Structure 1
Amino acid sequence: MTLHTPELRDHACLIVHGPDQIGLVAAISAVLTVNKANIVSLDQYTDDPDGGAFFQRVVFHREGLTAVMPDIEAELDETLRTYGMTWTLTDQSVPERMAILASTTDHCLLDLLWRHRRGELPVTIPMVISNHTNTAEDVRSFGVPFHHVPSQGPDKTEAEAEILRLLAGNVDFVVLARYMQILSEGFIDALGVPVINIHHSFLPAFIGAGPYKAAKERGVKLIGATSHYVTPELDEGPIIEQDVVRVTHVDTAADLQRRGADVERDVLSRAVTWHAQNRVVRHGNQTIVFQ
């Protein structure tokens, strides 16, 4: 069953990116005008007006969108192909399907479930998968299916195969809500959808176990979090969102961890929301985020 968001009925989002050139904006607007679409919002950016890269996000309304969507797509393809542009067109009334992978730490997981229940995240959540069972009861209390897939030892082949089986064809993107397992390159390739991670640092200087203890020992003055897309290079994917809070010498390692958890929740929820609203465009190892 496909769920729809009533307030976004007959709204579509067009993302365009490619080489900047004269006439591009007019050509896109002309296609929408011919198809009787009313532009609701439009954001664009070029990193260099003289031969740089161009990015545009357009949200438009068209009565009876579902019926005319194939015609709009065909005309956009014909027009944008001549400009050498990459583009996507999505029905905004159909929320993306977001699966969550988690481990024992639950603050990011429960925050996403809570925001979803309040209607703050424009997604559906078909499942939560964890390599532990301590969050199962909490997850199911939100009406979300919980799957336990153990992952122990250096060989993750069996666990990754089971996770792929659960996710295949059922999700549009995946969120790692403090999922403390490294995903293999083969898994990422086979999954074939974006994966968003939350890292417990503004810059990944404190890696491994006990990052807040290490930060306390270094006497840091700022702690923060980074949400990024997952790539085969660990914690090196395109950054979506970051934030920091100031701390002082009186804060204990436990204080840093508590305050860091708050930042992690906020940063991850913003990244997830922006991705689900088609506000993030990947450009190499960077992102363009239309807010």
Structure 2
Amino acid sequence: MKRTKTLNRARLLISCSDQPGIVASVSAFLHEKGANIVQSDQYSTDPEGGMFFMRVEFDLPAFTERFHEVEEEFSAIAAQFAMTWRLESERKTKRMAIFVSKEDHCLLELLWRWRSGELDVDIPLVISNHEDLRDIVESYGISFHYIPVTKETKQEAESDAKTLLYDYHIDFIVLARYMQILSPAFVQDFEHRIINIHHSFLPAFIGANPYKKAFERGVKLIGATAHYVTNDLDEGPIIEQEVLRVNHRYDTADLKIAGRNVEKIALARAVDWHINDKVLVHENKTIIFN
């Protein structure tokens, strides 16, 4: 069922050093602007010199005329507390690009949730280094772009991908089992806006063939990890993890099947939280207001 948007709703996300008066100042500011706070979440790492994180949802009368006014005037509060902050409008639908290689399970999960209205997002295009999934993608009415990647053409391929992302005004990228390592320059251009699914429970079994490693280790839980991409392979801020219990009867093929199921769940949940501005990144960790 498609989610109903509240067209006069905004989300304010804040990170700063913990100090007295933050919540009172934010609440008073929004009250003065005639806003009605409908949800407020806070988290402090340590009241004595730690970090403070806050997510506020509020309804704002005359939203179209006043949203940018609120955004501009809040900068004074932000400066007072040295905040890192952003204000998001619920009426703005984020634009997501999907990168994929040959495996389709994560792609299909995202497309199904998008078509059913569970993911409030636009998907203008899918980029792949293989042609295998073109028919599936195009059957959803989504533009499919084949950009082959070799060691010799990697820089050119990423340049072509960037051009498409900018042309389609993409807000963030999901790597739905895209089996290429992105360059530092590419990652930097989309910092904390690239979500990857790793087919193991990080930090265990980093790199390739995690199910083979898991089988050899005799694991009793199989997992998957959705995380933001950084230049440290498979070590970016973790958004979500999912596990499934297994036993000694599972061979490598069985573990792969189980793994695909948890990959789909973890990735879809991470994408949903990102879409709805429920994730704050601090250093190499995330705070999830879910």
Q: Tell me the TM-score range normalised by the shorter chain.
A: over 0.9
**Over residues 179-209 of structure 1, what are the superposed CA-to-partner deviations in whole Å (9 max), with x where a residue is unaligned?**
0000000122234561000000012433454
* 2:185 match: 186
Tell me the TM-score normalised to structure 1 length. 0.95
Per the alignment, do residues 167 and 33 of structure 1 end up closer, same or farther by CA in structure 2, a change over 3 Å counting? same
Structure 1 CA distance for aligned equivalents of residues 195 and 211 of structure 2: 22
* 2:78 match: 80
Task: Answer yes or no: is the 8 Å Cα contact 2:197–2:225 preserved in 1.
Answer: yes
* 1:112 match: 110
The match for 2:90 among 89, 92, 95 is 92
Per the alignment, do residues 247 and 223 of structure 1 end up closer, same or farther by CA in structure 2, a change over 3 Å counting? same
> Is 2:198 the counterpart of 1:195?
no
Task: Answer yes or no: is the 8 Å Cα contact 1:131–1:148 preserved in 2.
Answer: yes
* 2:217 match: 218
* 1:131 match: 129
Structure 1 CA distance for aligned equivalents of residues 204 and 19 of structure 2: 40
Runs of 5+ in structure 1 lacking a partner? none
**Over residues 124-161 of structure 1, what are the superposed CA-to-partner deviations in whole Å (9 max), with x where a residue is unaligned?**
11110000111111011111111000012355111111
Matched AA of 2:264: R
Task: Answer yes or no: is the 8 Å Cα contact 1:168–1:191 preserved in 2.
Answer: no
Q: RMSD across aligned C-alpha pairs, in angstroms?
A: 1.5
Structure 1 CA distance for aligned equivalents of residues 208 and 82 of structure 2: 46
Structure 2 CA distance for aligned equivalents of residues 258 and 192 of structure 1: 31
* 2:262 match: 263
Task: Answer yes or no: is the 8 Å Cα contact 1:13–1:58 preserved in 2.
Answer: yes
Farther off after superposition, 154-163 or 81-90? 154-163
Tell me the SS of whatever aligns to 1:168: helix
Identity of aligned residues (%): 51
* 1:27 match: 25
Tell me the SS of whatever aligns to 2:181: coil
Tell me the TM-score normalised to structure 2 length. 0.95
Structure 1 CA distance for aligned equivalents of residues 157 and 192 of structure 2: 18
Task: Answer yes or no: is the 8 Å Cα contact 1:31–1:75 preserved in 2.
Answer: no
* 2:280 match: 281
Structure 2 CA distance for aligned equivalents of residues 287 and 220 of structure 1: 27
Tell me the SS of whatever aligns to 2:242: strand
Tell me the SS of whatever aligns to 1:126: strand
**Over residues 200-221 of structure 1, what are the superposed CA-to-partner deviations in whole Å (9 max), with x where a residue is unaligned?**
0012433454332332222111
Tell me the SS of whatever aligns to 1:187: helix
Per the alignment, do residues 52 and 206 of structure 1 end up closer, same or farther by CA in structure 2, a change over 3 Å counting? closer
> Is 2:135 the counterpart of 1:122?
no
Matched AA of 2:85: W
Per the alignment, do residues 259 and 190 of structure 1 end up closer, same or farther by CA in structure 2, a change over 3 Å counting? same
Structure 1 CA distance for aligned equivalents of residues 21 and 79 of structure 2: 14
**Over residues 16-38 of structure 1, what are the superposed CA-to-partner deviations in whole Å (9 max), with x where a residue is unaligned?**
11011111111101111111110
Farther off after superposition, 194-203 or 62-71? 62-71
Per the alignment, do residues 270 and 48 of structure 1 end up closer, same or farther by CA in structure 2, a change over 3 Å counting? same
Per the alignment, do residues 191 and 282 of structure 1 end up closer, same or farther by CA in structure 2, a change over 3 Å counting? closer
Structure 1 CA distance for aligned equivalents of residues 187 and 255 of structure 2: 32
* 2:228 match: 229
Shift of residue 255, structure 1, vs aligned partner: 1.1
Per the alignment, do residues 244 and 47 of structure 1 end up closer, same or farther by CA in structure 2, a change over 3 Å counting? same
Structure 2 CA distance for aligned equivalents of residues 206 and 226 of structure 1: 11
Task: Answer yes or no: is the 8 Å Cα contact 1:6–1:93 preserved in 2.
Answer: no
* 1:63 match: 61
Structure 2 CA distance for aligned equivalents of residues 204 and 72 of structure 1: 41
- Within-5 A mapping of 1:154-169: 155-168=153-166
Q: What is the aligned residue count?
A: 287
